[in-house]
């Protein structure tokens, strides 16, 4: 049985055939036979055929839109059903939790309380047993005392008989009474001690109860967070539904406008439209012919510096008699800058035989002259991709490698890495570089040095990428995920403002924000807040490490001059960007680049010769602070042993992010240039908000906010 869709497709094809036949009849009647009646009839039949075709196409679109609407409606109904199930589950959960909540709405951890109560009952029973034993002993003492009284009565009767021994028996009796009274006092003291132990156990029971309440509070907060997430999903679904309905209405209006334009086009005349379509197709054919001729040409490398040598080889082969076409694929430079490996794509698969490679190698000397190389070119197939061939272009002799003693004069070697830690004078440090270039190793080494201090700073780690395979942290995390890290940034800024307003400088804290660019990209105010904090955070006991990948300052709502407020540490290609863009390094950029080339060449050669990988590789870093640039060698991972738990041991003074103690002594002012506290006050500024200071050691002038 033929379906309705088959009838519609057949009707559309018949309408198109009728339209083309009418157009041909119209052209024939106007050019060959010159019959106006046939021309009018052809025009009418063509118009009707086109109108029928448009109606069929419109009915197809309406049917498709109706199906899409039904599908979206079913999806919405399913989501509403799921939301009702979630509400039902929430109500059931609330009903189940009600018996386990106190009158304040705080859940009770029944299992924890039962286990604690059981242990306390056992301890209480032990105390009661000890009290019972003491009572028995006391009763025995009393019985013995009664027996002694009876003995004394007998002695009184015997006094008359043995009056001469009266003094002796009296002394004996008093001594026995004194001993027993002493023993009674001892037993009484033991009973008091047992009572104190009982009171202590009761206090411990109250403390355990408070801990259980706090845990129950935490579980209730997690349940409420899940409920809020479900509500957010419901609102998002409703928003998507409203958007879909609006899009459907707009699409319907567009179809009505398109149908109106088609009617006007049919009424104004089909021949002109048909001719314009033919002209447009002719122009497209001409354009495609020109594009095809361009595609037949070989593809060249971008003409940048030494890469032009490879382009000469491609051009020479294309213009030769054999007309060999090699397309540019990839260039891999050598670390010692003596040349590079060039990869070419093979255009014609039939020419990939061994004879083709041998023919190229026979002309290796000729090609080396064309490309300006010092060695003959030798071609071979790429082992990974057989559709490519490669050759080595060497055009410069390798320079003699620098000695380790010479290299150590250009940077801070690993044995003196603690100098880098001491150079971080400013409270905020920004660490930048691509993935795998050593940012995490650098910060972990700084934290290891911090843990080995006499009084380690309390450290809080915030990681928006928690759970990734590249997790390299050794301490516990205070914030996990993007949302939690955003809240931690806001809390950090609030704590800074609170300390600044109240003159608080204790306790000392260090916040480490990993992958801060991910958080800052979604909220442009975060970078501005860090910049504001860095300008006034020197004497309030707070520090921060900001770890990111992008050194593109302009894209992060900063200027390069703002980097002077941070200790900036760069790795990899970010070092060159920093040398070119930092205003304070403009006069020494040339010398820094030369030193960078020597140090990078040394690291690459050591890694290649020793086959080093991962955290044991030789790595180079650049520290820029207070307008001075210092290269340093990054030690291998875990090269500084420490007790990581010291960084997260919370002292009694750290009760919340916003509590602290006002210092009883005035804060010492340090010189930002040399770090000395031997400074003198030169007077206030005109606005009265700052003091002019001068260092007596290096004679550096600076301002300090009041």
* pLDDT tens sequence across 539-592: 788 999 999 876 655 455 677 878 888 899 999 888 988 898 888 888 999 999
CATH 3.90.550 for domain 413-663: no
8 Å CB contact between 98 and 198: no
Find, among 56, 49, 57, 54, the residue nearest to 26 by Cα.
49
Decide: residue 393, CB within 10 A, 0-12 exposed, 13-18 middle, 19+ buried: buried
Write down the pLDDT at residue 661.
37
Residue 648 CB neighbour total at 10 angstroms: 16
Write down the pLDDT at residue 450.
92
- Cα 33 from chain centre: 79
Structural domain spans, the chain: 4-95, 101-261, 305-394, 413-663, 668-706
Alpha helix ranges (H) inside 373-438: 404-408, 418-423
The tokens describing 111, both together, are 């299992």
Phi, psi of 389 (to 5 degrees): -125, 160
Find, among 46, 51, 47, 29, the residue nearest to 38 by Cα.
29
Element (H, E) at 66: helix 36-97
The tokens describing 681, both together, are 């006050």
Q: Tell me the C-alpha distance between 49 and 311, whole Å.
A: 58
Write down the pLDDT at residue 448.
92
Q: Tell me the C-alpha distance between 461 and 480, whole Å.
A: 9
Give the strands of the sheet with 690-695, arranged side by side. 679-684, 690-695, 701-705
Beta-ladder partners of 498: none
CA dist 595 → 419, 570, 591, 621 (Å): 19, 15, 6, 12
Q: Tell me the C-alpha distance between 260 and 6, whole Å.
A: 27
Half-sphere exposure of 52 (CA within 13 A, CB side): 18
Find, among 461, 483, 506, the residue nearest to 498 by Cα.
506
Find, among 646, 637, 615, the residue nearest to 445 by Cα.
637
Question: Phi-psi bin for 354: left (phi > 0), alpha (psi -120 to 50), beta?
Answer: alpha
- Cα 239 from chain centre: 29
Decide: residue 155, CB within 10 A, 0-12 exposed, 13-18 middle, 19+ buried: middle
How confident is the chain (706 residues) per 10-residue block, as mean pLDDT?
A: 61 70 71 67 73 74 79 80 77 68 59 72 78 77 75 68 62 67 74 71 59 69 74 70 70 66 58 65 75 78 84 88 84 84 75 62 88 89 84 78 80 92 92 86 92 91 74 82 89 90 87 87 82 80 86 61 87 88 89 91 86 81 92 89 85 43 52 80 71 82 76
Q: Tell me the C-alpha distance between 398 and 392, whole Å.
A: 15
Half-sphere exposure of 37 (CA within 13 A, CB side): 0
Decide: residue 644, CB within 10 A, 0-12 exposed, 13-18 middle, 19+ buried: middle
Decide: residue 60, CB within 10 A, 0-12 exposed, 13-18 middle, 19+ buried: middle
> DSSP class of residue 587?
T
8 Å CB contact between 657 and 491: yes
Find, among 417, 397, 320, 366, the residue nearest to 630 by Cα.
417
Q: Tell me the C-alpha distance between 539 and 499, whole Å.
A: 10
Q: Tell me the C-alpha distance between 36 and 58, whole Å.
A: 33
Write down the pLDDT at residue 492.
92
Residue 477 CB neighbour total at 10 angstroms: 18
Give the strands of the sheet with 379-381, arranged side by side. 326-333, 339-346, 388-394, 379-381
Quickly name the fold that domain 305-394 has: 3.30.980
8 Å CB contact between 416 and 422: no
Element (H, E) at 690: strand 690-695
CA dist 489 → 555, 557, 660 (Å): 20, 17, 19
Write down the pLDDT at residue 351.
44
Output the CA angle 647-652-654, nearest 5 degrees.
Answer: 65
Phi, psi of 336 (to 5 degrees): -90, 5
8 Å CB contact between 512 and 479: no
Half-sphere exposure of 475 (CA within 13 A, CB side): 30
Write down the pLDDT at residue 654.
46
The tokens describing 586, both together, are 């403009």
> DSSP class of residue 363?
T
CA dist 282 → 44, 275, 278, 286 (Å): 28, 11, 6, 6
> What does the chain come to in residues?
706
The tokens describing 88, both together, are 């039902």
8 Å CB contact between 486 and 538: no
Q: Tell me the C-alpha distance between 330 and 388, whole Å.
A: 10
Q: Tell me the C-alpha distance between 571 and 436, whole Å.
A: 10
Find, among 509, 503, 511, the residue nearest to 667 by Cα.
503
């Amino acid at each position: 049985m033929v379906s309705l869709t088959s009838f519609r497709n057949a009707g559309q094809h018949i309408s198109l055939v009728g339209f083309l036949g009418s157009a041909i009849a119209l052209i024939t009647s106007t050019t060959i036979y010159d019959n106006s009646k046939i021309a009018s009839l052809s025009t009418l039949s063509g118009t009707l055929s086109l109108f029928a075709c448009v109606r069929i196409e419109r009915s197809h679109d309406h049917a498709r839109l109706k199906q899409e609407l039904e599908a979206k409606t079913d999806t919405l109904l399913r989501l509403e059903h799921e939301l009702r199930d979630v509400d039902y589950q929430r109500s059931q959960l609330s009903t189940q939790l009600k018996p386990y909540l106190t009158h304040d709405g705080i859940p009770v951890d029944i299992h924890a309380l039962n286990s604690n109560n059981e242990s306390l009952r056992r301890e209480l029973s032990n105390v009661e047993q000890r009290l019972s034993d003491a009572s028995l002993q006391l009763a025995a003492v009393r019985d013995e005392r009664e027996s002694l009284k009876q003995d004394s009565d007998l002695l009184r009767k015997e006094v008359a008989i043995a009056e001469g021994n009266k003094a002796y028996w009296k002394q004996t009796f008093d001594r026995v009474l004194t001993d027993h009274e002493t023993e009674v006092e001892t037993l009484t003291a033991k009973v008091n001690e047992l009572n104190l132990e009982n009171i202590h156990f009761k206090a411990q029971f109250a403390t355990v109860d408070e801990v259980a309440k706090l845990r129950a509070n935490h579980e209730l907060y997690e349940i409420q967070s899940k409920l809020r997430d479900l509500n957010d999903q419901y609102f998002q679904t409703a928003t998507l539904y409203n958007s879909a309905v609006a899009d459907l209405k707009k699409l319907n209006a567009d179809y009505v406008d398109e149908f109106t334009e088609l009617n006007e086009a049919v009424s104004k005349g089909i021949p002109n439209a048909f001719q314009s379509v033919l002209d447009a197709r002719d122009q497209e054919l001409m354009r495609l012919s020109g594009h095809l001729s361009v595609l037949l040409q070989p593809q060249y490398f971008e003409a940048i510096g030494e890469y032009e040598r490879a382009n000469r080889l491609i051009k020479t082969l294309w213009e030769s008699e054999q007309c060999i076409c090699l397309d540019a694929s990839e260039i891999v430079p050598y670390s010692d800058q003596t040349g590079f490996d060039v990869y070419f794509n093979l255009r014609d698969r039939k020419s990939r035989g061994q004879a083709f490679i041998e023919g190229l190698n026979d002309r290796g000397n000729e090609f080396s002259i064309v490309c300006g190389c010092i060695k003959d070119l030798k071609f071979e197939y790429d082992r990974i991709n057989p559709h490519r061939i490669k050759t080595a272009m060497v055009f410069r002799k390798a320079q003699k490698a620098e000695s380790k003693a010479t290299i150590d004069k250009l940077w801070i070697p690993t044995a003196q890495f603690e100098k880098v830690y001491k150079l971080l004078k400013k409270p905020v440090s920004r660490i930048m570089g691509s993935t795998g270039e050593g940012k995490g190793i650098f910060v972990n080494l700084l934290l290891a040095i911090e843990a080995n201090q006499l009084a380690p700073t309390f450290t809080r780690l915030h990681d928006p990428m928690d759970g990734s395979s590249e997790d390299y942290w050794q301490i516990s995390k205070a914030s996990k995920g993007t949302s939690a890290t955003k809240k931690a940034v806001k809390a950090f800024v609030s704590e800074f403002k609170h300390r600044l307003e109240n003159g608080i400088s204790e306790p000392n804290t260090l916040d480490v924000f990993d992958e801060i660019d991910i958080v800052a990209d979604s909220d442009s105010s975060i970078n501005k807040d860090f910049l504001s904090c860095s300008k006034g955070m020197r004497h309030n006991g707070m520090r921060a490490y900001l770890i990111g990948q992008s050194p593109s300052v302009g894209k992060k709502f900063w200027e390069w001059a703002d980097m002077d407020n941070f200790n900036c540490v760069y790795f990899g290609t970010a070092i060159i960007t920093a040398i070119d863009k930092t205003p304070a390094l403009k006069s020494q950029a040339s010398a820094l680049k030369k030193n960078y080339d020597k140090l990078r060449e040394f690291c690459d050669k050591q890694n290649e010769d020793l086959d080093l990988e991962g955290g044991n590789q030789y790595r180079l870093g650049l520290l820029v602070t207070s307008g001075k640039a210092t290269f340093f060698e990054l030690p291998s991972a875990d090269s500084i042993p420490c007790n990581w738990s010291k960084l997260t041991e919370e002292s009694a003074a750290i009760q919340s992010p916003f509590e602290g103690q006002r210092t009883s002594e005035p804060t010492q002012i340090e010189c930002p240039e040399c770090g000395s506290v031997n400074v003198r006050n030169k007077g206030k500024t005109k606005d009265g908000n700052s003091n002019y200071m001068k260092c007596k050691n290096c004679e550096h002038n600076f301002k300090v906010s009041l």
